Structure 1
Amino acid sequence: MSPASALLPTTLVLSLRDIDVTRDGHPALRGVDARAHAGRLLVVVGPNGSGKSTLLSVAAGLLSADRGVVEMRPHTHITLLPQSTALAPHLPLTVADVVAMGTWARLGAWRPSRRADRDAVTEAIAAVELTELARRPVGTLSGGQRQRALLAQVLVQRADLVLLDEPMAGLDARSRAIIAASIARLTQAGAAVIAVTHDPAEFASIDDVLELHDGRVRA
């Protein structure tokens, strides 16, 4: 499950320099610098309201900075797992269906899947330890199991830059451990990963830490 493009270790994928963002009339980010490198996990920590999710939105291209420079490596494939992702319980989607959606960016939603993509889906489901539940409707899963299915969807996207907003918030210990291991798989495969968290100890290993407080980087 390699990223879409073979990046060399430590390749600079994203650079944010002197970023200012105002939201609802209040400064959300003030003079923030951040850098994401291939094969490395950058963890963004800080209290509620410190600007963590705003930083992730700027990195994803969902929010424009009022000031500063955002530089992205050309042809970078980005995927974002937000803090709250709704999966309507009445939809007839199985775990395998949800994970297979991660291949749509390469195939298109209605094109037949290839053997390599089906194998990637099977491998991703196994990586998050949901093989026995692959045909289970997602609406019947626990919160931890749903989050693991969504992370498996991220795995099959083979993105160069992976953005995760509180990926283990409120989950049981087993799900946190499985997700931490899956995030390590992403960096080992060469992806640049930025993860927002309140607790850095949740992760198996961390390469870089950015601490925010009141929208500023805490030295």
Structure 2
Amino acid sequence: MSSPSLLLPTTRVLSLSDIAVDLDGHPALRGVDAEAHAGRLLAVTGANGSGKSTLLAVAAGLLTPHRGTVDLRAGIRTALVPQSTPLAAHLPLSVTDIVTMGTWGRLGAWRPARRADRELVRGAMATVGLSELSRRPIGTLSGGQRQRALLAQALVQRADLVLLDEPMAGLDARSRAIIAATIDQLTATGSAVIAVTHDIAEFTAVDDVLELQNGRALRRS
């Protein structure tokens, strides 16, 4: 249900050059380069503490590097899908409410959704297999279902660049399969996707790989 991107395939959407980040006095990233391209999935892999989530935070604009350049193509819409946390289970919101938040960038917070936006929300929930749970409180869902709701929220944003932090960590097999298929749909319709993962085999198709070790790029392919 994701609308096709207006970007040409393989257009460079984001470029990170010589990125260095210190966290609490310790180097988290050391001179890392990375690029994201329209219609391609970049998998960022490595052990815990290798700098994967730090790199994603830089890409999302949540963290300013101490050195290096972040070049985001003008007009690019970005969506960040964090890991589902216990906090989400305590929000007094339904699945529809969570997914509708993806329209806020266009409509503003808590404004009534237009008909087209409501259809977009319904389509996103159908894509991630949550249509029958649309009225359920988010706190009553499993971890995998909550993660799918967050991904549906990103679909509604119609982002050109989608950033995923361990999207399948600890999830059931059905949720992993649905998320992998949705990522395939995102790249097929032209979105650039960067996904942090411990296991690139989680995805059905990976175009580019960046492996980090102790904050440095160990391998690119």
TM-score bracket, shorter-length normalisation: over 0.9
Q: Match of 1:21?
A: 21
Write the deviation string for residues 8-63 of structure 1: whole angstroms up to 9, x where unpaired: 11111100111111111111111100000011110000000100011001101111
Write the deviation string for residues 94-134 of structure 1: whole angstroms up to 9, x where unpaired: 11111111111111123332221111111110111111111
| Conserved 8 A contact 2:84-2:146 | no
Write the deviation string for residues 142-172 of structure 1: whole angstroms up to 9, x where unpaired: 1111111111111111011111100110000
> Following TM superposition, by how much is the alpha carbon of 1:138 offset from its aligned partner in structure 2, in angstroms?
1.1
Following the alignment from structure 1 to structure 2, what is the Cα–Cα distance between the partners of residues 194 and 178? 17
TM-score normalised by structure 1 residue count: 0.95
SS at the partner of 2:18?
strand
> Following TM superposition, by how much is the alpha carbon of 1:89 offset from its aligned partner in structure 2, in angstroms?
2.6
Q: Match of 1:205?
A: 205
Q: Match of 2:118?
A: 118
Following the alignment from structure 2 to structure 1, what is the Cα–Cα distance between the partners of residues 113 and 60? 27
Following the alignment from structure 2 to structure 1, what is the Cα–Cα distance between the partners of residues 28 and 111? 42
> Following TM superposition, by how much is the alpha carbon of 1:216 offset from its aligned partner in structure 2, in angstroms?
0.6
Letter in 2 for 1:8: L
> Following TM superposition, by how much is the alpha carbon of 1:84 offset from its aligned partner in structure 2, in angstroms?
4.1
| Conserved 8 A contact 1:164-1:195 | yes
- Any runs of at least 4 consecutive aligned residues in structure 1 with deviations exceeding 3 A, and if so which? none
> Following TM superposition, by how much is the alpha carbon of 1:188 offset from its aligned partner in structure 2, in angstroms?
1.4
Structure 1 segments unaligned to the other structure (5+ residues) = none
Q: Match of 1:87?
A: 88
TM-score normalised by structure 2 residue count: 0.94
Following the alignment from structure 2 to structure 1, what is the Cα–Cα distance between the partners of residues 149 and 56? 21
Q: Size of the alignment, in residue pairs?
A: 217
Provide the aligned C-alpha RMSD in A: 1.3
- Residues 90/120 of structure 1: CA separation in 2 closer, same or farther (3 Å cut): closer
Structure 2 segments unaligned to the other structure (5+ residues) = none
Following the alignment from structure 2 to structure 1, what is the Cα–Cα distance between the partners of residues 217 and 110? 44
- Residues 94/84 of structure 1: CA separation in 2 closer, same or farther (3 Å cut): closer
Letter in 1 for 2:218: R
